[in-house]
Structure 1
């Protein structure tokens, strides 16, 4: 258990350090670089939540 926790922490620290801005004052990101497309993922999550909610409602009506 401790080995898994240590490995997960090490991976998070390693990838978290890569996501930080450069320390030497590199170029600042612009709006085009930091724009996040929420189209595909958000619609899939919404559709999955809707399907799960409908399934739960149908199960309640049967019981």
Structure 2
């Protein structure tokens, strides 16, 4: 049980270190079409919505499978 937890924690830390490294990169050239922050009420990206829906569906599947 403890070994499984340690593997999960190590995996999480490795993945997060990749995200931190990627977000710490300096961008010298502005991206075309971005003139500032998005307007208020800006919709969530479609990919994030699909990820949320897939996570909910997987959670429901796991809960039904355990019964």
Higher helix proportion: 1
Give the TM-score taking structure 2 as reference length.
0.42
With normalisation by structure 1, the TM-score equals 0.44
